[in-house]
Structure 1
Amino acid sequence: MDATAKPLRIPPQMAVYAEEHRIFDILQKMVQNLLIDRPEDPIQYLIDHLRKDNDGVPRIAILGPPASGKHTMAKLLCKRLNATHLTPENLLSNDVSELVEEALSYKGKDQEIPDALWAGLIRERLSKVDCVKRGWVIEGFPRTREQGLLLQMNGTCPDHIVVLDAPDIVLIERNMGKRIDPTTGEVYHTAFDWPEDPEVQKNLVEPEGISEEETGKKLLEYHGNIHGILLVFPTIYKKINADQPCMDVLSQVLTFVLSKPRSLAPYTPRILLYGPPGSGRSLQAAFLAEKYDIVNVSCGQVLKEAVADQTKTGLLIEPYIENEQQVPDNLVLRVLGDRLSRMDCATRGWVLHGFPRDADQATMLNDAGYMPNRIFFLDIPDDVAIERLSLRMTDPVSGERYHSLYRPAPRVDVHRRLQQNPTDAEQKVQMRLDMYHVSAEELEEFYQDVIHVNADQDPYTVFEFIESCIVKPLPKRVPGEAPSP
C-alpha cells in the first residue's frame, strides 16, 4: 500500500498481540545473543533460542561485603524464584569438567585462579539445563572490575545486581558471630540465626578468617573493588541497606529483581480508569490526556456526541438517553469501537473511563480487540464519594461548578441560583455506589494486572502515582503467587 496516497491503518489487534507476546523484546534479545555468540548457523541458533523460551528467567548477582547477608539472601531468592544457587565454591564441584580441573590445580598450588578461567567456569555452568530453564542467582561474583568486564564479553551478564550495604562496624560484629556446620556447609549466627536442634548446635564450628583484623582486611579489599564493578554495570544495580530485618531486606530485593528493564518497544498507552462515582476518573483522564497527548475517551461523552451527530447508531441510542435508561451494551460497544479504532487512538493511545462497568462488558471490549495495558482502580470510601457528589452544584448562568465544602460560591446571589444535578442526590449516589460494589470484584478478577490507587487524597498526588505506573514496566510475578492487588 502506498502510504503517501492513503494512510496505512494497522488493526489494533496487531499491537495488542505484539505487546502480549513481547515480539519486539524477543527479537531484540535474539539479535543481541546472535551478535555475542556469532554462531556458524544463525538460523538454527535462533530456532534453538526460541525453543529454550527462557528470556524471562531470573539472572541475578548478589554482591556485598563480608557478613552483609549475601548467602542468606541468595538462598531465599532461589527458594522464591525457583532458581539455581551459584557460588564461586560450588562452581568447582564438577570434577568432570576440564576447566574445573584446571581451576583446582591453581587452588592446590595456593595460586589465584585467573579471571579468564573464572569467566569460562561461569559460562560453562550457566549453559547447564537447570540454569537455562530456571535461571540463576550467583553470590559474591564478580569480585573485581576485570571479572565484571569478562562477564560482559562472554555474554553472561546478569539482568539485576543486588548490592547489600551496611556500616563496617555492624559487619565486623556480625562476622564474629558466624558459625558453620562442617557436615552440611550451612551458615548460622550466634545472635540472628541459631539452630534449634541441639545436635546441629554441637557440630557448629567457628570458621576461619572472622576475627576483627581479618574482617577489616576483607572490608578494605571489598571497598577497593566495588566502585569499579558498579562502573561496569551502571544501569542494572541497586544498593540495599542490609542493616535491617532479613525479611525487610528480602522484600526490597524482590521488588527490585522482579522489576523489568524499560523496553525499547514502541509503546501505545491504552489506559482504563475504573472507580466509584466521585473518585475523580474524569479529572485524572484529563490530566493524562493533556500531559501525554493521548485521547481522552469518556463513554458518556462519546454517546452524547453520537446522538448529536445523528449517526445511525446515535439515532438508536437517542431514545434511551432521553428516557434516562441504560443504553444496551452492544450499542455502546459499537460507538466506542468506532472511536477507539480511529487513527488518533491507534497512534497516540487512549485513556478510557465510564466503560466497562462489569465483567460482561469487559469481555465484549476485549473480544473487540481493545485491551487496556494499564488498569487503574480509583478507591475511595463511600462516605467520601457521597460528600463529593451530593454537595456539588452548578451555576446555570456561568456553568461553573461549586462545592459546599471545597469550593463554595463566591457571592450570595451566585449561591442562591445554584442547582443540583438530580443524579447527585444522596439517595441516587448511594444506589450507584451499590451497583459499583456489585461489579467491582468480578471486574478485578477479569483483569489480572489491576493497580489500586488511593483516590482519597490530593488529585495531583493521585496523578503522580498513576503516572509512575504508566512510565515504568509492570513487575514480573513470583512463580506460584497470585498477582498482587
Structure 2
Amino acid sequence: MWLCKHLNSNLITKENLLGKDFSYLAEEAKKHLQVYKGWVLDGIPERREQALMLQTLGLMPKHVIVLNAPDTVLIERNVGKRIDPVTGEIYHTTFDWPPESEIQNRLIEPDGISEIETAKRLLEYHRNIIRILPSYPKILKQISADQPCVDVFYQVLSYVQTGHRSNAPFTPKVLLCGPLGSGKSLQATLLAQKYGLVNICCGQLLKEAVAAKSNFGELIQPFFEKQMTVPDSIITKALAERLDQQDCIQKGWVLHGFPRDLDQAQMLNNMGYSPNRVFFLNVPLDSILERLTLRRTDPVTGERFHLMYKPPPTIEVQARLLQNPKDSEEHIRLQTDLFYRNSGDLEQYYDWAITINGDQDPYTVFEYIESGIINPLPKKVT
C-alpha cells in the first residue's frame, strides 16, 4: 500500500480481485488505468503454474521482490494483525496500534490468522516459492522483512526505482528466420515502423561497424576484404553491444540474419538475449530465384529494378543495368540449401515458434506476424 501511494499505482491482491463486483464499464476503465499507472501485485502468483499463466498472457512484472523473515516472527506478526475495514490499513496489537480510539473500535481480526492456520499457510508457501522464483531470474530481489517497516519500504522503493534489463514479453524481442529472399528485411522494417522496435539486421550491423571504424569494425574488416565468414565470437560481441543499448531495452527489437544455426541460437540464449517471438518465413526455391535473380541496379543513378516487378523505364537504362554477383542463381541455390539444412535444428530449438508461408503478398505476411506478436503464444497439443 505504501508503494502504491508513493508511485500512484494500483494495488492488486487476490482478495480485491475476487471480493468485488464490477460493471463492464468499470472493468474496462480499470484496465486502462492499470496500463497507464502501473500496478503492484501482492500475493500473486501463489504457484508456479500461475506464474507461467501470467507470462503466457503477457503480464510480466518489471521488478519482483521477496520479503523474507523467520517463521516465528511471521507467526507472531500474523496473530496480532488487525485491519481497518474503511481504509484497508493494516495495524498490529503490539507493534503498530493506532492512537485514535475511533480507528481502534472499528478494527477487525482477519480470518485464518491463528498460530496453527498461519503455520499451515507458511508450510504451503515454502513448498511453492522455490518453484516460483526461477521464473524471474533477472528481476528478482530478496529483502529481509525482519526489520522496521520504514527500512523495508525504502529498500523496496530503491529497488523498484532502479532501471534494469527486462525479459518482459510486453517488450517485443522478435526473431525473423528465413532463407535469402524470404522478405525478412521488409517485415522487420514494417514491424519497426508500426511498433517502434529497433530494426537489427546482423549483416548491416557488421557493415556499420566497419564503416564507423570502431574496435569491432577493425576486427571485421579483414574478413570482409577476404570475403570470409566473420567468426561467431566477433558477431555476438557486436550484437551484444547493440542489444544492450537503451533503445533496445526500452522499445524492444526485431532481429534478422542471426542466428543461422543451432550453435548461434544457443550462444544468443546463453548471452541473455532470448527472443520472445520467433517466426519462420518459408518460401520455395522457385519463388526465391524469381525474386532475387531478376534484381538489377543502375550504376549511374543507384536505383534498383526488378525485371518482372519493377522493369526499367527505357531500353537505355536496361542496357546499363548490372546484377550483383550475390544474386546469381548458383549463389542463391547454395545459400538457400544451407538455410534449410540448418532450419530443422532451429525449428526444434524454438519449438514454440510460428511458421508462416512467406510466398504471398508481403502485407498479408505482416498481418500473420502481427497477430503472432499481439496474441499469446500458441500452446502445443501433446
Q: Determine if the TM-score, normalized by the shorter chain, exceeds 0.5.
A: yes
Judged with a 3 Å threshold, the aligned counterparts in structure 2 of structure 1 residues 440 and 411 are, in CA distance, closer, same or farther, namely same
Residue 31 (structure 1) aligns with: 13
User: Number of residues paired by the alignment?
Assistant: 238
Q: Specify the SS of the correspondent of 1:433.
A: helix
1:430: how far off? Answer: 0.5
Amino acid at match of 2:14: Q
Residue 311 (structure 1) aligns with: 214
1:334 to 193, 213, 237: 237
Judged with a 3 Å threshold, the aligned counterparts in structure 2 of structure 1 residues 266 and 317 are, in CA distance, closer, same or farther, namely closer
Residue 171 (structure 2) aligns with: 268
Distance 1:397 1:387 in 2: 25
1:37: how far off? Answer: 5.6
Residue 117 (structure 1) aligns with: none
1:355: how far off? Answer: 0.4
Judged with a 3 Å threshold, the aligned counterparts in structure 2 of structure 1 residues 53 and 470 are, in CA distance, closer, same or farther, namely closer
Residue 418 (structure 1) aligns with: 321
Judged with a 3 Å threshold, the aligned counterparts in structure 2 of structure 1 residues 54 and 270 are, in CA distance, closer, same or farther, namely closer
Residue 95 (structure 2) aligns with: none
1:46: how far off? Answer: 3.9
Matched, 1:448 2:356: no
Residue 401 (structure 1) aligns with: 304
1:54: how far off? Answer: 5.1
Distance 1:281 1:53 in 2: 35
Contact preservation (8 Å) 2:352, 2:380: no
2:46 to 45, 50, 53: 50
Amino acid at match of 1:32: K
Distance 1:293 1:54 in 2: 30
Distance 1:391 1:339 in 2: 34
Amino acid at match of 1:420: Q
1:393: how far off? Answer: 0.8
Judged with a 3 Å threshold, the aligned counterparts in structure 2 of structure 1 residues 266 and 455 are, in CA distance, closer, same or farther, namely closer
Q: Specify the SS of the correspondent of 2:46.
A: helix
Q: Specify the SS of the correspondent of 2:208.
A: helix
1:267: how far off? Answer: 1.2
Judged with a 3 Å threshold, the aligned counterparts in structure 2 of structure 1 residues 276 and 31 are, in CA distance, closer, same or farther, namely same
Residue 111 (structure 2) aligns with: none
Amino acid at match of 2:209: A
1:310: how far off? Answer: 1.1
**1:65-464 → structure 2 map (5 Å cutoff):** 267-464=170-367
Amino acid at match of 1:36: L
1:53: how far off? Answer: 3.9
1:56: how far off? Answer: 6.6
Unaligned segments of structure 1, at least 5 residues:
1-26, 39-44, 58-264
Judged with a 3 Å threshold, the aligned counterparts in structure 2 of structure 1 residues 436 and 53 are, in CA distance, closer, same or farther, namely closer
Amino acid at match of 1:414: V
Contact preservation (8 Å) 2:14, 2:43: no
Contact preservation (8 Å) 2:352, 2:378: no
Distance 1:46 1:428 in 2: 58
1:477: how far off? Answer: 3.7
Q: Specify the SS of the correspondent of 2:247.
A: helix
1:448: how far off? Answer: 2.0
Contact preservation (8 Å) 2:298, 2:321: yes
Judged with a 3 Å threshold, the aligned counterparts in structure 2 of structure 1 residues 344 and 433 are, in CA distance, closer, same or farther, namely same
Distance 1:35 1:440 in 2: 45
Instruction: Give the TM-score normalised by the residue count of structure 1.
Output: 0.47
Judged with a 3 Å threshold, the aligned counterparts in structure 2 of structure 1 residues 417 and 364 are, in CA distance, closer, same or farther, namely same
Distance 2:194 2:238 in 1: 26
Q: Specify the SS of the correspondent of 1:314.
A: helix
Offset from partner CA, 1:38-72 (integer Å, 9 cap, x none): 9xxxxxx949x624845778xxxxxxxxxxxxxxx
Task: Answer with 1 or 2: which has the greater Rg.
Answer: 1
1:266: how far off? Answer: 7.2
Distance 1:460 1:35 in 2: 40
Contact preservation (8 Å) 2:185, 2:256: yes
Distance 1:373 1:429 in 2: 30
Structure 1 runs of 4+ with >6 Å offset: none
Residue 378 (structure 2) aligns with: 475
Offset from partner CA, 1:352-372 (integer Å, 9 cap, x none): 000000010000011111111
Q: Specify the SS of the correspondent of 1:476.
A: coil
1:35: how far off? Answer: 4.6
Judged with a 3 Å threshold, the aligned counterparts in structure 2 of structure 1 residues 51 and 347 are, in CA distance, closer, same or farther, namely closer
Judged with a 3 Å threshold, the aligned counterparts in structure 2 of structure 1 residues 294 and 55 are, in CA distance, closer, same or farther, namely closer
Distance 2:257 2:51 in 1: 37
Q: Specify the SS of the correspondent of 1:402.
A: strand
1:297: how far off? Answer: 0.3
Q: Specify the SS of the correspondent of 1:50.
A: coil
Distance 1:52 1:352 in 2: 30
Instruction: Give the TM-score normalised by the residue count of structure 2.
Output: 0.59
CA RMSD of aligned residues (A): 2.3
Amino acid at match of 2:220: I
1:292: how far off? Answer: 1.1
Residue 26 (structure 2) aligns with: none
Amino acid at match of 1:447: Y
Amino acid at match of 1:424: D
